[in-house]
């Protein structure tokens, strides 16, 4: 697995400059609030068109400004876990997960749905509504929904934000198990140095 990211993008008072090339399967993007961490993820995901970028994952080009190549977001084969989880409130957990399965394209990787549910410990949540879930449960379901689409890699934007220490520890342990047991590469955004150090030594620092 490899992440090759060259990115230049200015937003307001902030300017993002990344030159990263590594074979690490878990890369953290860290820095103070407002430095552009989420914007960088959005550029990788195809939600923002950067001013200049050459980004490839495992040798597959997502965007190359010099060659005028830019895959649409739905073709980038990434699963995105947003800060606010974004579960559909009108759908039970099982239907939220089914939505992830429907988003799986023919080119996406195979995924063991039972293994995802087991690793994330959400087997007993299928009939629950999102409004009845705890913060930790919401994050676990959001991660599971992203995995159900069979992504080649995950983008995680501050997945422990707004969680208390116990729930944060719970979700962080889940992320470690996903990485080790399901072998899913990740770009992981956090402002917490201790959190990042626990997960990886491969770090992109912004700000």
Contact 193, 161 (CB under 8 A): no
Residue 155: pLDDT over 70: yes
Contact 35, 206 (CB under 8 A): yes
Candidate from 12-21, 41-50, 110-119 with smallest mean pLDDT: 110-119
Range of the domain at 131: 3-205
* pLDDT at position 48: 95
Which two structure tokens, joined as six digits, stand for 6?
């060259």
Whole-angstrom distance, CA of residue 88 vs CA of residue 29 = 27
Model confidence at 105, pLDDT cuts 50, 70, 90, reads: low
* pLDDT at position 55: 98
Structural domain count, the chain = 1
Residue 107: pLDDT over 60: no
Which CATH number belongs to the domain containing residue 38 in this structure? Answer: 3.40.50.300
- Residues in Cβ contact with 10 at an 8 Å cutoff, skipping those fewer than 6 apart: 16, 51
Whole-angstrom distance, CA of residue 159 vs CA of residue 190 = 8
Whole-angstrom distance, CA of residue 32 vs CA of residue 191 = 6
Whole-angstrom distance, CA of residue 64 vs CA of residue 42 = 15
Q: How does 61-72 read in b/e, with b if 16+ C-beta sit within 10 Å?
A: ebbbbeeeebee
Whole-angstrom distance, CA of residue 177 vs CA of residue 35 = 29
Name the pairing type of β-strands 203-205 and 78-81.
Answer: unpaired
Alpha carbon 172 to chain centroid, angstroms: 13
Whole-angstrom distance, CA of residue 51 vs CA of residue 7 = 8
Average pLDDT in the 162-191 region? 91
Model confidence at 92, pLDDT cuts 50, 70, 90, reads: very high
Mean pLDDT of the chain: 92
**62-73 pLDDT, tens digit each:** 999 999 999 999
């Amino acid at each position: 697995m490899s992440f090759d990211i060259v990115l230049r993008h200015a937003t307001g008072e902030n300017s993002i400059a990344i030159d990263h090339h590594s074979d690490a399967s878990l890369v953290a993007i860290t820095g103070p609030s407002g430095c552009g961490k989420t914007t960088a993820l959005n550029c990788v995901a195809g939600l923002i068109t950067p001013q200049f970028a050459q980004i490839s994952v495992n040798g597959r080009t997502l965007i190359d400004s010099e060659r005028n190549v830019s895959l649409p977001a739905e073709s980038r084969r990434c699963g995105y876990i947003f800060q606010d989880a974004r579960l559909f409130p009108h759908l039970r957990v099982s239907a939220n997960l089914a939505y992830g399965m429907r988003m799986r394209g023919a080119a996406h990787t195979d995924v063991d749905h039972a293994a995802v549910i087991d690793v994330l410990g959400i087997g007993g949540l299928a009939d629950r509504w999102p409004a009845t879930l705890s913060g930790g449960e919401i994050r676990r379901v959001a991660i599971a929904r992203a995995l159900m689409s069979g992504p080649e890699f995950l983008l995680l934007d501050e997945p422990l934000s707004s969680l208390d220490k116990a729930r944060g520890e719970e979700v962080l342990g889940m992320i470690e198990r996903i990485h080790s047991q399901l072998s899913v590469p990740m770009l992981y955004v956090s402002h917490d140095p201790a959190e990042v150090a626990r997960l990886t030594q491969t770090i992109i620092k912004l700000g």
